[in-house]
């Protein structure tokens, strides 16, 4: 019974087999059964159809985690529409850019779970008429012609290395494969309760959390935003699985320490994972001592529907790899772009690889090899037992708090200031996370605080530079190209914090 054709089929199977079991615990504590979840998705599908949404139409969801996001995703699946989940914490400028590219017929806002979504809805003039509930507002557009994108379930937007939005087309098959792979890796069962603070608007939360839970019949407890206190209480109350990023684990441990606890007292917690950033061996040991169970690691990206590889280590295992490839996934290295012997660009092929970039065949062609492998842009090596180790990024992507930050986008925001001549933005590893550092060459008199306030007008909070350094000149090659790999050493005297 695993031959699903669309993601809502996973929901329907659970509704048939365990209708009265809890499927979702919303942020307000409301528990929804699988039967209720399915009924809500049917009702929402009918509302979308009555609003003129048909197969191939895009439905943009400006959201933070809540039941309504899950319901709309399943409702879109029922009518063949394509969901475009977008984080409500993006700025109005960023949302407008994505909306212009995705060309949706309907934009929905999860106003009940997100003050940012409510603010965007108010600015757009959206209302409750199209949605039938006070927690979700909508706005219909005449544009947005349906497109025959065979099997596409969602568009997930990444900014890309150019700073322009790129819509990653993930099929129902991609998401179902990822759901099965993630559920299998974690041994998920209906007895599990997955804590869901990872954003459903990003592939990690969408595929490895929401879809995996639907596949296995596990309960997912949604949190609109991460809170160390809320996670601590959820673990004490019975959460069994926690997929997270290193910063979440660090904040939880800090919260516990502030309250006099060096270990977590949880009888049910059985699986903890860390993704979206490298693991430091010392930090891994500290986390395992706190949880009392192994800390698992994995690797993936939006274009690979999250999962490429994952670990199943025992506690205390010093391995900091991202594990062997998942079943059904192929991985190889292109050593022609490597930086050392045995290192190459990680390439992957299988049912997890995206359909391509929406309305961008050129970028799709650049991302794919002739024999169907996805070029990840990450550098890695494979050890003698087949485990993949990520050693660096060929691209300049910064991962901050589990969110992708692309330097060209931050640089573009700073370069718009009239006093800025040029700038360079890089990431710096710090306490299991990455800081966003901006080195700015200016004319006239301007302060870092002024530049920070200026960038805040167009950048989401997680994209804004952690530190802005005003410098006389940036290290450059004879061609004038800024040598980003020399920034940290060149300005070492400034980096005392």
Read off the CATH number of the domain in which 155 is found. 3.40.50.980
Q: pTM to 2 decimals?
A: 0.84
Same domain, 383 and 417: no
Q: State the Cα angle at 167 between 163 and 171, rounded to 5°.
A: 155
What pLDDT was estimated at residue 339?
60
What pLDDT was estimated at residue 249?
86
What pLDDT was estimated at residue 329?
98
Last residue of a domain, one of 375, 393, 411: 393
Query: Is 367 part of a structural domain of the chain?
Result: yes
The confidence band for 419, taking pLDDT boundaries of 50, 70 and 90, is confident
Same domain, 19 and 161: yes
What pLDDT was estimated at residue 161?
45
Tell me how many helices (H) and strands (E) the chain has.
15, 24
Spatial CA neighbour of 88 closest among 257, 247, 201: 201
Same domain, 432 and 369: no
Tens of pLDDT, residue by residue over 250-290, are 788 888 988 999 899 888 999 999 886 667 677 788 889 99
Structural tokens at position 333: 């290295």
What pLDDT was estimated at residue 11?
98
The whole-angstrom separation of Cα 298 and Cα 181 is: 12
What pLDDT was estimated at residue 477?
54
Last residue of a domain, one of 393, 410, 445: 393
Tens of pLDDT, residue by residue over 2-15, are 679 999 999 999 99
Tens of pLDDT, residue by residue over 84-105, are 999 999 999 999 999 999 999 9
What pLDDT was estimated at residue 404?
73
Same domain, 28 and 121: yes
List 425's β-bridge partners, or say none: 438
What pLDDT was estimated at residue 359?
93
| Domain hosting residue 240, numbered range | 226-393
Query: Is 180 part of a structural domain of the chain?
Result: no
Averaged confidence pLDDT in the chain:
90
Residue showing tokens 């959820």: 234
Structural tokens at position 55: 């197969």
Query: Is 310 part of a structural domain of the chain?
Result: yes
Q: What is the CATH number of the domain that holds 285?
A: 3.40.50.12780
Query: With left for phi above 0 and alpha for psi between -120 and 50, is residue 434 left, alpha or beta?
Result: beta
Query: Is 54 part of a structural domain of the chain?
Result: yes
Residue 41 has pLDDT above 90, yes or no: yes
Q: Which residues contact 478 (CB under 8 A, 6 or more apart)?
A: none
Q: Rounded to an integer, what is the distance from CA 142 to the centroid of its chain?
A: 30
What pLDDT was estimated at residue 295?
95
Spatial CA neighbour of 153 closest among 4, 329, 364, 37: 4
Note whether 325 and 374 are within 8 A (CB). Answer: no
Q: How many folded domains does the chain comprise? A: 3
Residue 485 has pLDDT above 50, yes or no: yes
Between β-strands 82-87 and 58-63, what pairing exists: parallel, antiparallel or unpaired? parallel
Query: Is 41 part of a structural domain of the chain?
Result: yes
Q: Which residues contact 28 (CB under 8 A, 6 or more apart)?
A: none
Tens of pLDDT, residue by residue over 347-393, are 999 999 999 999 999 999 999 999 999 999 888 899 999 999 988 76
Query: Is 441 part of a structural domain of the chain?
Result: yes
Last residue of a domain, one of 173, 202, 234: 173
Residue 148 to residues 37, 38, 85, Cα–Cα distance (Å): 28, 26, 20
Same domain, 388 and 412: no
The confidence band for 291, taking pLDDT boundaries of 50, 70 and 90, is very high
Q: Average pLDDT of 210-230?
A: 96
Same domain, 331 and 418: no
What pLDDT was estimated at residue 120?
96
Same domain, 115 and 13: yes
Same domain, 77 and 121: yes
Same domain, 12 and 145: yes
pLDDT exceeding 90 applies to what percent of the chain?
A: 67
117: helix, strand or coil: helix
Q: What is the CATH number of the domain that holds 402?
A: 3.30.300.30
Same domain, 30 and 165: yes
Spatial CA neighbour of 275 closest among 313, 301, 293, 254: 301
Note whether 297 and 322 are within 8 A (CB). Answer: yes
Residue 220 has pLDDT above 90, yes or no: yes
Query: Is 212 part of a structural domain of the chain?
Result: no
Same domain, 380 and 462: no
Same domain, 373 and 447: no
Query: Is 64 part of a structural domain of the chain?
Result: yes
């Amino acid at each position: 019974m695993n031959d699903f054709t669309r993601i809502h089929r996973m929901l329907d199977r659970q509704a048939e087999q365990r209708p009265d079991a809890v499927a979702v615990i919303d942020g307000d504590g409301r528990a929804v059964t699988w039967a209720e979840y399915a009924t809500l998705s049917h009702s929402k599908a009918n509302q979308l159809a009555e609003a003129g949404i048909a197969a191939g139409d895009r439905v943009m969801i400006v959201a933070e985690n809540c039941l309504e996001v899950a319901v709309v995703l399943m409702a879109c699946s029922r009518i063949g529409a394509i969901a475009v989940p977008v984080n409500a914490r993006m700025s109005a400028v960023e949302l407008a850019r994505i909306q212009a590219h995705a060309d949706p017929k309907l934009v929905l806002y999860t106003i009940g779970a997100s003050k940012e979504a409510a603010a965007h809805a108010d600015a757009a003039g959206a209302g409750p008429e199209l949605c039938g509930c006070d927690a979700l507002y909508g706005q219909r557009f005449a544009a947005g012609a349906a497109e025959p994108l065979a099997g596409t379930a969602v568009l997930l937007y990444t900014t890309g290395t150019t700073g322009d939005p790129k819509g990653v087309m993930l099929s129902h098959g991609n998401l179902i494969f990822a759901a099965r792979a993630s559920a299998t890796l974690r041994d998920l069962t209906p007895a599990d309760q997955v804590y869901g603070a990872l954003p459903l608007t990003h592939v990690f939360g969408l595929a490895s959390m929401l879809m995996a839970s639907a596949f296995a019949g596990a309960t997912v407890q949604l949190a609109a935003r991460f809170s160390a206190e809320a996670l601590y209480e959820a673990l004490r109350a019975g959460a069994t699985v926690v997929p997270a990023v290193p910063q979440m684990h660090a904040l939880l441990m800090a919260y516990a320490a502030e309250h006099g606890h060096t270990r977590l007292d949880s009888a049910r917690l059985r699986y903890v994972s860390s993704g979206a950033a490298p693991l430091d061996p010392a930090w891994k040991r500290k986390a395992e001592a706190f949880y009392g169970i192994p800390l698992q690691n994995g690797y993936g990206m939006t274009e690979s529907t999250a999962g490429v590889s994952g670990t199943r280590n025992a506690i205390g295992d010093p391995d900091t790899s991202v594990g062997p490839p998942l079943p059904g996934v192929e991985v190889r290295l292109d050593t022609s772009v490597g930086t050392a012997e045995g290192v190459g660009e990680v390439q992957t092929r299988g049912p997890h690889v995206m359909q391509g970039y929406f309305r961008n065949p050129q970028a799709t062609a650049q991302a794919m090899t002739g024999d169907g492998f996805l070029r990840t842009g990450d550098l890695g090596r494979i050890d003698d037992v087949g485990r993949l180790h990520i050693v660096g990024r060929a691209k300049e992507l910064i991962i901050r708090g589990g969110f992708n930050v692309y330097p060209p986008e931050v640089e573009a925001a700073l370069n718009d200031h009239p006093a800025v001549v040029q700038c360079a933005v890089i990431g710096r590893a710090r306490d299991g996370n990455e800081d966003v550092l901006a080195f700015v060459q200016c004319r006239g008199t301007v302060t870092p605080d002024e530049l920070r306030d200026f960038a805040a007008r167009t950048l989401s909070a997680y994209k804004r530079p952690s530190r802005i350094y005003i410098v006389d000149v940036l290290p450059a090659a004879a061609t004038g190209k800024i040598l980003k790999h020399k920034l940290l050493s060149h300005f070492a005297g400034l980096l005392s914090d």
